[in-house]
Amino acid sequence: MNIEDVDLFLELSKNQNLTVTANNLFLTQPTVSRRLAMLERELGYSLFIRRKGYGTISLTAAGKRFSIIAQQISLLDKEAHALKSYADIQHLSIGSTDSIASYPLKDFFHMISKEQAHWDIDITICDSLEIYELVAKRIIDIGITNGPSPLPELVSIPVFEEEFVVVRRGKRPPGYETVHPSELKENHEIFQIFNDEYHYWHNSWWTAGTPKGRVNLAHFTVGFLNDPEDWAILPISVAQALLPEDGYLSRLLESPPKRKCFMVLHKKLRSDRQATIAAFEARLHEYVRTLRL
């Protein structure tokens, strides 16, 4: 059965007029009649009721039932031909923490989406622990996290590291280019946790559970800094992006371990995504070399 004849039948069943169908398909009316007759002969039953002297036709009972089948045939043909363009698209799912995706790698994700127009990229924002689970279950292909994965089925690849700095509002007093943790009052802290190393360092200087406020997304931090003595510790890329006009940064004399970013992958990658993941990893490392952290 010729798919063009099926489409001709569908056009006829929509218009129920030989002349209109011929004009729409850029065919002559005799050609339409001949091809319809050939289709009916192949099927072994009539599809339309024709009346001499009238240009209009109507579906037979068999024609109405065949109309449903013809629509399915036409749809399957379109889907089959669409597979070529679909096969050219490379799918990639990524999970990242907000403090990485929205700050040091924000421009990278914008850039990669423009450079790789044939990539279908899906980005999920969640915390590192959730990302490890999603990669382990193969729900996402790549994790971008604040620490290496503890799960044995995953591999953690270092991407970059950066120092933490203190953010405060007001005009920076002389000598406050650096500050010692002991000078920061714990009841004026706006706290956000980043990884276990940072947590251990933090609790060695301040009592757990005593900050002025807690946030789980970095962009909320600055809004809580209302008093000159209020402070927050953030990775430098985040702090520079969020620093208000009336704010300043100070480096820590006794600093925490640097914030480390890792690319987390399953040890057994999907075969259809290996090349795309390798290309993503290479482009990511190339971009990170341009960062000033």
> Within this chain, do residues 123 and 80 fall inside the same structural domain, yes or no?
no
Look at residues 282, 260, 287, 276 and name the one whose alpha carbon lies nearest to residue 141: 276
In a domain, residue 293? The reply is no
Cα separations (Å) of 79 from 2, 72, 119, 201?
16, 11, 20, 57
User: What letter would DSSP give residue 142?
Assistant: E
> Within this chain, do residues 8 and 81 fall inside the same structural domain, yes or no?
yes
CATH of the domain at 13: 1.10.10.10
> Within this chain, do residues 81 and 113 fall inside the same structural domain, yes or no?
no
pTM for this prediction: 0.67
Among residues 39, 69, 88, the one where a domain terminates is 88
Helices (H), the chain: 3-15, 18-24, 29-43, 61-88, 98-101, 106-115, 128-136, 196-203, 236-242, 274-288
pLDDT tens digit sequence for 97-133: 999 999 999 999 999 988 887 888 999 999 999 999 9
Look at residues 98, 91, 109 and name the one whose alpha carbon lies nearest to residue 288: 109
> Within this chain, do residues 39 and 61 fall inside the same structural domain, yes or no?
yes
Output the CA torsion sign for 24, 25, 29, 32: negative
> Within this chain, do residues 79 and 193 fall inside the same structural domain, yes or no?
no
Range(s) of the domain holding residue 26? 3-88
> Within this chain, do residues 131 and 181 fall inside the same structural domain, yes or no?
no
CATH of the domain at 206: 3.40.190.10
pLDDT tens over the chain, length 293 residues? 789 999 999 999 998 898 898 999 989 989 998 999 999 999 999 999 987 766 688 999 999 999 999 999 988 888 777 666 555 678 899 999 999 999 999 999 999 988 887 888 999 999 999 999 999 999 999 999 999 999 999 999 999 999 999 999 988 878 778 999 999 999 999 998 888 889 899 999 998 778 888 888 888 888 899 899 999 999 999 999 999 888 999 999 999 999 999 999 999 998 888 989 999 999 999 999 998 87
CA distance 54 to 36: 17
Cα separations (Å) of 193 from 112, 125, 184?
29, 16, 17
CA neighbours within 13 Å on the CB side: how many for 35?
21
